[in-house]
């Protein structure tokens, strides 16, 4: 069974940084698309960023310029570098992946990916 295991969440003050990691149990190159989405209490799931095997990436407007998605195929790991964090970034962050050739890396589409991890909590305080 494929597993995606997130780590790196925590509590930081506004303006701080965190780097999330998502370690996969198989070669991540086998997924055409990978990304991150988040879920905050009382809010809908929000796609944060997506990336494909060609390295093309996409971001939600709310995080553009502050977050960077990347992946290390050799380590089978996906990353999300988060800078200048704001209280509104507080959420559970999930790693997601999709092996369908027709998957899209548009950030909003990340919530439709088939494989998810268990999530890692990010809390940003003033």
Q: pLDDT (tens digit, 9 = 90+) per residue, 98-108? A: 988 788 989 99
DSSP SS3 for 60: coil
Cα–Cα distance between 51 and 44 in angstroms, integer? 21
CB 109 within 8 A of CB 46: no
Neighbouring CB atoms inside 10 A of 23's CB total 17
The pLDDT mean for the chain works out to 94
Residue-level pLDDT at 26: 85
Burial class (CB in 10 A: 0-12, 13-18, 19+), 90: middle
> pLDDT value at position 101?
77
Query: Would you say residue 27 has pLDDT above 70?
Result: yes
For the cut 70, the answer to whether the pLDDT of residue 2 exceeds it is no
Question: How far apart, in whole angstroms, are the C-alpha atoms of residue 53 and residue 92?
Answer: 25
Query: Per-residue pLDDT for 40 more than 80?
Result: yes
Region at 63 (left for phi over 0; alpha for psi -120 to 50; beta for the rest)? alpha
């Amino acid at each position: 069974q494929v597993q995606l295991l997130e780590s790196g969440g925590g509590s930081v003050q506004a303006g701080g940084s965190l780097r999330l990691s998502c370690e996969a149990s198989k070669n991540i190159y086998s997924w055409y698309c990978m990304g991150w989405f988040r879920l905050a209490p009382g809010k809908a799931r929000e796609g944060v960023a997506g990336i494909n095997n060609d390295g093309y990436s996409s971001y939600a407007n709310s995080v553009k310029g502050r977050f960077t998605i990347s992946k290390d195929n050799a380590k089978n790991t996906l990353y999300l570098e988060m800078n200048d964090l704001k209280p509104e970034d507080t959420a559970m962050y999930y790693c997601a992946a999709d092996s369908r050739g027709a998957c899209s890396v548009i950030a909003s589409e990340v919530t439709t990916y088939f494989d998810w991890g268990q999530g890692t909590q990010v809390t940003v305080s003033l």
